[in-house]
């Protein structure tokens, strides 16, 4: 089974993806990490990268083509990315929702620990919240223009989980439980 994880910034996609990978023994691909690497290679922050992508769809299309190829060539893995559900329509599609304040707090804590070095340095959680909102708008603008979709239309998903007050372990277990009912 292929599991695609999408969700808002700070919702826990990467963390939950790692937990699922460990629990299920599935390989994991992170499109967020892939985008961060591309941004870093181009001496840009992720926000700068996303803004630049509004002018040129080549990088977005490369990421979606990569995911599509994965979905055609492999049967069992986890992928986290905004449009993973779109690139791999036969996947088990999960959207992780989060309150914007909590998502911003999580991102701020990651930034303080230096776990995502090519993201900008934030001074406050409020600044993170503003940048996350800009990122959502930027990404949905691009995806609507390029593919005719937005990544946060809940009708596109098999399972939607609000992670605001739920631990990553509980979220991963909810996904595993739901998979058991459809497998």
Closest CA relative to residue 116, chosen from 29, 12, 19, 36: 36
Query: Is CATH 3.10.129.10 correct for 2-182?
Result: no
Tell me the CA end-to-end span of the chain in Å, nearest whole number: 8
**What's the confidence (pLDDT) of residue 118?**
54
**What's the confidence (pLDDT) of residue 116?**
60
**What's the confidence (pLDDT) of residue 86?**
96
**pTM of full prediction above 0.85:** yes
**Mean pLDDT, 10 residues at a time, the chain of 183 residues:** 96 96 96 85 81 80 91 97 96 98 92 67 89 89 91 96 98 94 64
Cα of 147 vs its chain's centroid, Å: 17
Domain boundaries, the chain: 2-182
Residue range 30-40, pLDDT digits in tens: 998 888 888 88
Q: Collapsing DSSP states into helix, strand and coil, what is residue 120?
A: coil
């Amino acid at each position: 089974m292929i599991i695609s994880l999408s969700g808002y910034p700070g919702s826990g996609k990467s963390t939950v993806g790692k937990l699922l990978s460990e629990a299920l023994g599935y390989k994991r691909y992170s499109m967020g990490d892939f985008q961060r690497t591309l941004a870093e290679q181009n001496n840009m922050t992720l926000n700068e990268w996303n803004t630049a992508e509004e002018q040129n769809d080549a990088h977005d299309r490369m990421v979606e083509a990569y995911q599509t190829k994965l979905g055609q060539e492999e049967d069992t893995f986890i992928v986290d990315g905004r449009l993973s559900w779109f690139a791999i329509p036969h996947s088990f599609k999960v959207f992780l929702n989060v309150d914007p304040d909590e998502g911003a707090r999580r991102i701020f804590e990651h930034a303080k620990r230096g776990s995502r070095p090519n993201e900008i340095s934030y001074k406050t959680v409020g600044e993170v919240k503003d940048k996350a909102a800009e990122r959502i708008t930027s990404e949905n603008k691009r995806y609507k223009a390029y593919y005719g979709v937005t990544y946060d239309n809940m009708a596109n998903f098999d399972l939607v989980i609000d992670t605001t007050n739920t631990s990553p372990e509980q979220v991963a277990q909810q996904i595993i439980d739901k998979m058991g009912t459809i497998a």
